[in-house]
Structure 1
Amino acid sequence: MDSNSWKKILSVISDERLISLANKIEIKVPGFRKVTPQLLKNFKIKLIKEMIKPRYLIKISNELNGLYNDILNKNSKNYREMDEADLIKQADNKDKFDDIVLSLFSSKNIGHKQLAMKISNGSSSRETSNLRMEDKIKDTMHKENQTISFLRDTIKRYELETKVKENKINDLNSKFDSLNQKFIKYKKQQNQLKILMSSKLEKRNDDLENKTKQIEELKRDNDKLKELLRISEKKFSDKKRTYRVAIIGNPQNSHIVDDSITIYEEDQLQDLIKSNKLSRFDELWILRYRVSTEYIKKCLDLIKTVKIVNNFKELKKLHSFLKEKAL
């Protein structure tokens, strides 16, 4: 068979069988001590071109004859004796393909060699189709890998952005919690201050209200005294006579001061009694709320010069008496 046929057969057998065959014939490749998968990957065409040289084809033929005997020993069937249809079917099995093609091509029978070429061409077509399919699959997988890589990068970027946003959110939440605690504390202080101020204001209002009532009451008492004195003055003026009154105990009220009224303090009582000055007065008024009980008793027992002695336990009694005298 010509070198092209050998080239075809060496191209379709498995890489493992090709490496084994190349090392058995001791082919020399510059830069390599023996043929390896790495060498075959980069220099397969160059290697096959070297192997189909006449000096190596003789060695290959001898190796294939020995190989055929080994194949016969390990298989129950002789591939050279099987019909074409059965061989083509058996050749679809990758594990049997090399043995079938090499068994037929190493035969001296031209029909076996032609059948080996036919099976090789079919394998080549299938291999080409498979290569195209593999290329298509690889291209699809490459695109899918690019898409997956893009999606992974996108997801990673989104995760990073999400992490950054989460950190910002956590930071904002922390600041919000801090401000919220301060606000709660401020509100609590405000409420406490409000309660305190409200209490103070209420007490102040109560005090002011009580003082206002006291002032109003004093005003009313003063007004009553003024009116009583006015009536008394009018009455005394109408009678056109001097009616003298001595008051023991200072009422401390300027409205009671009159020419007909003389006011004495408690400690002046003894002098009045000894000097008999009380005989000059028509009436003696004793303010019991201004004079001690001991002096009142002494006054009542010793004073006999004054015909009328009046006792006043409180300011209201004096008011009432003045009003009656005025009438």
Structure 2
Amino acid sequence: MSRETWKKVFSTIPDLELVELADFWSIQVKGFRQINQENIRQARAMVITEALKPRNLKMIKAYYTINDDESDEPADKGEEITLDALIELYEEGKELHLILGGLYASEEEKFEQLALELEESLLEKYKVDDLSSLIDRKEQKEEEASPVVAESASTTEWEKKWNKSEDKNKDLRAKIGEWEKKYSQLKQQSKEEKQTAWSEKLKLQQELGTERAQHRETVENNKKTAEENDVLKEEVAKLKGEISHLNAMLLLQQQEVAATAAKPDEKQPAATNTKEIVLVGDPKNKLTENSVKHTFRVLELKDVPEALESDLLEKCDEVWIMTYLVPPQMRRKIKRTVQKSIKEFSDFPTLKRYIEKG
């Protein structure tokens, strides 16, 4: 419901009753230490303005809801609320702000419409321009029609209503106390949950920082290791090339020494029948080392280009190729370059049988 609607409801509260309600609702106004009968007319507008603030209006709406729910009027017994019944209720003495406040606090469309109809009917019936004028009309009528005896009876009736209102107010204060207690508990629970969440967040941030640091260290170490491996690979390749070159030179020197040491009239020992074989493709078997009739110089694929340039393949007796280890392109290159006898073996068992057969 809008603030303007509630402002209209508050305008129907008599001054004396507004003093009591301001105290009950704990409404405080700047410039007034306490709202009382002497200053209510000067402070009335400020009291209503303060009551319309959201933090107060929520509690005040609850007051009207409880007040209306605990009403002992016929409508509470299941009877349909009608406009005529509400007008009669007002004329019997029930405060207009309690009637309108109960209707608007329900926040049901049918009660809101009923409240509007009641306002229009009262304005038209009593020939006034606004609801606040009904307060003056009612107070004036009571003063004119009430003799001393009636005033005493009215006072007694008022005391009954006041006592009844006080009882309701006590219940309301008790309920408000329960709400405040629950609110305090929920506030403390929320604070604890926030602290737990903050601690968990801080812990996760610390773990994330540690993981990131370890990741950076691992990346740096891997990069360093990769660089070292590249250097080592280059050195190994260089050394293998040097070894291949030295092996080729050694084989050449061995052949030259054997040729120089041989004499025409000497009988060559059985070893002179040994053939110098260059085996392209390493079968990884000691048979090539233990053969009696053959001396093998095993070339790996990477050593073939250098052997071709150094004429190593031309200085041996035969060239054997393990076709399953040597790519076709390299085999063709060897065949085009070398004029020696070339034998090809498709697998190791074939090579083995050939050697053993002699």
For Structure 1 versus Structure 2, the TM-score category normalised by the shorter chain is 0.3 to 0.5
- TM value normalised by structure 2: 0.36
Q: Indicate the structure (1 or 2) with the bigger Cα radius of gyration.
A: 1
Higher helix share: 1
